[in-house]
C-alpha cells in the first residue's frame, strides 16, 4: 500500500507495478486526483535538478544527483508526446571578480561530469540571455556556466503519467481518492491503515509518501523522535518574458534556497517566475490550517526542540535572511524591496513589470536534528518494520524515479523471497539516448 499520490508515491507505484511481481497494490490519496499537492506545477519551481547549475552541490553530490535525475529525464523524453516537460536551456550566473573566480573553479571540478556544460563570458551571455547584460555596469565581470540540455517539468502531470503506466500492467491496482489517513497501526502479518472516515485497509507493506506528514506518522511508531521539522514555504513574483531559460545565481551553502532564480513557467514559457521567497510556516501543508496542530505535535513542548530551533534560527545569516522575507510580504513596499534582488538577474527590470504570483509553492520540510542541533537539506527517509516513511525534501521530485527504485527494492525485500525486482530492466528502460 502506498499512502500519497504525489510524484514519489506515483513513481513507486509505477516501479512496483511494472518491474516487480507484486500482484496487488493500493494507493490512497487525500485529494481528488494524482499530483494535486506539492507536485502540482503551481507549488514548485518546476526544475529538474541535475547539479550542474546548483552551486551549493559539491562535485560528489552533483555526480550523484545527475545519475539519479537522468532516470526521470529518460522517462520524460520517452513520454515526450504527453507534454510532461519543456526542453529548455539553463545557466548559473556569477557577478563580480569573487563569484567569477569561484565559478571558474567549479567548472574545472565538474566539467568531466557534465560534458555539455560550457563556461561562457559576457558576450556569449548577452547573446543567449540579453536581459542579463542590458543595463549592467560594463566593468563588472560576468561569467556563467551554460547547459543547453535543461528541463522545466510539470511534476503533477508526470505523477499522473506514472499511474497511467502502472495501470496498463497486469497488476491489480486499487486507487482511493478523497481519503485522508488518520493512523497507521501494526497488526498481524502487516499494517492497518485507518482513514478519517472510519474505514480501514490492510497491507503487508506500506510506503508513507506524504511529505512532512510522514514524520508525524513515524513519530507515532516511536521512530526518529529526535527529528522535528522546519517547514519552509515559498512565494514567487512573476514578470512577462524576461529570460529564455532557467537562470540561477550563486548559492550560499548555509542557505541553499536563498539565492533568487528566474524560471520560465512550464505552462507558459513567456512568463518568468522569480523566487522563491522562502518563509517559515508552522504547518505541514500550505493552506491547510488543520496541520498547524500537527506541526506543534511534532515538536511538542520539548526543551531540546526549542534549543535546536533557537540555535539555528538565531544564527546571523538566518536572521538576516528571514528579516528580508518578512519585508517582501509587505504590500507595495515588499515588491519594491524584492525588485532589488530580482535586478541582480535582470538589471533593467521595472517595478511595474513585477507582479506577485498567485500560485505559491508548497511546504518543503527541512529536517532539524534536535540532538545535533543541525539543519539538513537533503533527502530524508525512515525505514521501520515493513514500512517506509518518505519525507523527501528537495531535490525529491528531480530524483523521484531513483527514490522509487530504492523504495521498490526495500518493499520487495519486506515481502519476502518469492518477490523479485527487475532492476536491470528498470535501468535499461530509463536510459537517455544522449547524456548531459
Looking at the domain assignment, is residue 220 inside a domain? Answer: yes
Chain position carrying cell 541535475: 50
306-311 long-range Cβ contacts below 8 angstroms, 24+ apart = 307/370, 307/373, 308/228, 308/368, 308/369, 308/370, 308/373, 308/374, 309/228, 309/230, 309/368, 311/373
Looking at the domain assignment, is residue 191 inside a domain? Answer: yes
Cβ atoms 107, 56 nearer than 8 A? no
pLDDT at position 348 is: 97
pLDDT at position 233 is: 79
Angle at CA of residue 18, ends 16 and 23, nearest 5° = 60
pLDDT at position 1 is: 97
What does DSSP assign to residue 183? Answer: E
Number of domains the chain contains = 1
Domain that holds residue 4: 1-46+154-226+371-436
Looking at the domain assignment, is residue 350 inside a domain? Answer: no
pLDDT at position 434 is: 59
CATH code for the domain of 220: 3.50.50.60
Looking at the domain assignment, is residue 89 inside a domain? Answer: no
> How far apart, in whole angstroms, are the C-alpha atoms of residue 68 and residue 378?
14
Looking at the domain assignment, is residue 23 inside a domain? Answer: yes
Looking at the domain assignment, is residue 184 inside a domain? Answer: yes
SS3 52: coil
pLDDT tens, residue order, the chain (436 aa): 999 999 999 999 999 999 999 999 999 999 999 999 888 887 788 899 999 999 988 999 999 999 999 999 999 999 999 999 999 999 999 999 999 999 999 999 999 999 999 999 999 999 999 999 999 999 999 999 999 999 999 999 999 999 999 999 999 999 999 999 999 999 998 999 999 999 999 999 999 999 889 999 999 999 998 888 888 877 889 999 999 999 999 986 656 566 789 999 898 999 999 988 777 788 888 778 888 888 888 776 677 777 777 776 667 767 777 778 778 888 889 899 999 999 999 999 999 999 876 556 677 888 888 887 777 766 689 999 999 999 976 688 999 999 999 999 999 999 999 999 999 999 999 998 754 4
- Is the pTM of the predicted complex or chain greater than 0.85? yes
Q: From residue 27, give the alpha-carbon distance in Å to each of 218, 351, 378.
A: 19, 46, 26
Nearest to 396 by CA among 267, 214, 221: 214
Q: DSSP letter string over 238-270?
A: EEES--SSEEEEPPPSSSTT-S-EEEEETTEEE
Cβ atoms 335, 238 nearer than 8 A? no
pLDDT at position 394 is: 66
pLDDT at position 436 is: 42
Nearest to 379 by CA among 361, 397, 362: 397
Looking at the domain assignment, is residue 185 inside a domain? Answer: yes
Q: Which three cell numbers stand for residue 34?
A: 494524482
Alpha carbons within 13 A on the beta-carbon side of 272: 22
Cβ atoms 87, 99 nearer than 8 A? no
> How far apart, in whole angstroms, are the C-alpha atoms of residue 163 and residue 157?
10
Nearest to 374 by CA among 304, 282, 292: 304
Looking at the domain assignment, is residue 170 inside a domain? Answer: yes
Amino acid at each position: 500500500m502506498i499512502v500519497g499520490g504525489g510524484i514519489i508515491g506515483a513513481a513507486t507505484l509505477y516501479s512496483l507495478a511494472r518491474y516487480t511481481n507484486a500482484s496487488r497494490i493500493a494507493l490512497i490519496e487525500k485529494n481528488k486526483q494524482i499530483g494535486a499537492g506539492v507536485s502540482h506545477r503551481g507549488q514548485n519551481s518546476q526544475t529538474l535538478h541535475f547539479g550542474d547549475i546548483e552551486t551549493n552541490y559539491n562535485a560528489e553530490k552533483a555526480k550523484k544527483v545527475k545519475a539519479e535525475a537522468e532516470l526521470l529525464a529518460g522517462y520524460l523524453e520517452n513520454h515526450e508526446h504527453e507534454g510532461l516537460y519543456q526542453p529548455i536551456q539553463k545557466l548559473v550566473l556569477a557577478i563580480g571578480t569573487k563569484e567569477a573566480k569561484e565559478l571558474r573553479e567549479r567548472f574545472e571540478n565538474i566539467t568531466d561530469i557534465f560534458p555539455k556544460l560550457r563556461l561562457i563570458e559576457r558576450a556569449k551571455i548577452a547573446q543567449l540571455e540579453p536581459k542579463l547584460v542590458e543595463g549592467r555596469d560594463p566593468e563588472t565581470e560576468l561569467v556563467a556556466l551554460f547547459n543547453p540540455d535543461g528541463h522545466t517539468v510539470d511534476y503533477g502531470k508526470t505523477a499522473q503519467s506514472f499511474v497511467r503506466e502502472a495501470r496498463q500492467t497486469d497488476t491489480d491496482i486499487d486507487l482511493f481518492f478523497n481519503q485522508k489517513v488518520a493512523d497507521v497501526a501494526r497488526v498481524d502479518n502487516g499494517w492497518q491503515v485507518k482513514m478519517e472516515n472510519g474505514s480501514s485497509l490492510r497491507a503487508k507493506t506500506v510506503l508513507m509518501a506524504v511529505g512532512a506528514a510522514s514524520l508525524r506518522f513515524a513519530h507515532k511508531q516511536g521512530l526518529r523522535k529526535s527529528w522535528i521539522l522546519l517547514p519552509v514555504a515559498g512565494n514567487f513574483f512573476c514578470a512577462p518574458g524576461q529570460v529564455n531559460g532557467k537562470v540561477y545565481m550563486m548559492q550560499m551553502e548555509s542557505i541553499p534556497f536563498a539565492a533568487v532564480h528566474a524560471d520560465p513557467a512550464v505552462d507558459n514559457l513567456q512568463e518568468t517566475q522569480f523566487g522563491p521567497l522562502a518563509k517559515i510556516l508552522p504547518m505541514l501543508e500550505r493552506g491547510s490550517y488543520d496541520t498547524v496542530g500537527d506541526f506543534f505535535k511534532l515538536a511538542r513542548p520539548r526543551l531540546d526542540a526549542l534549543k535546536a530551533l533557537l540555535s539555528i534560527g538565531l544564527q546571523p545569516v538566518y536572521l538576516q535572511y528571514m528579516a528580508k522575507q518578512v519585508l517582501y510580504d509587505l504590500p507595495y513596499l515588499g515588491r519594491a524591496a524584492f525588485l532589488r534582488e530580482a535586478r541582480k538577474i535582470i538589471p533593467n527590470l521595472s517595478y511595474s513589470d513585477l507582479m506577485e504570483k498567485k500560485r505559491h509553492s508548497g511546504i518543503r520540510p527541512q529536517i532539524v536534528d534536535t540532538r545535533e542541533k543541525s539543519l539538513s537539506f537533503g533527502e530524508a527517509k525512515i525505514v521501520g518494520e515493513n514500512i517506509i516513511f518518505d519525507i523527501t525534501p528537495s531535490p525529491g521530485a528531480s530524483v523521484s524515479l531513483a527514490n522509487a527504485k530504492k523504495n521498490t527494492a526495500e518493499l520487495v525485500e519486506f515481502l519476502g523471497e518469492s518477490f523479485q525486482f527487475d532492476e536491470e530492466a528498470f535501468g535499461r528502460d530509463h536510459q537517455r539516448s544522449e547524456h548531459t
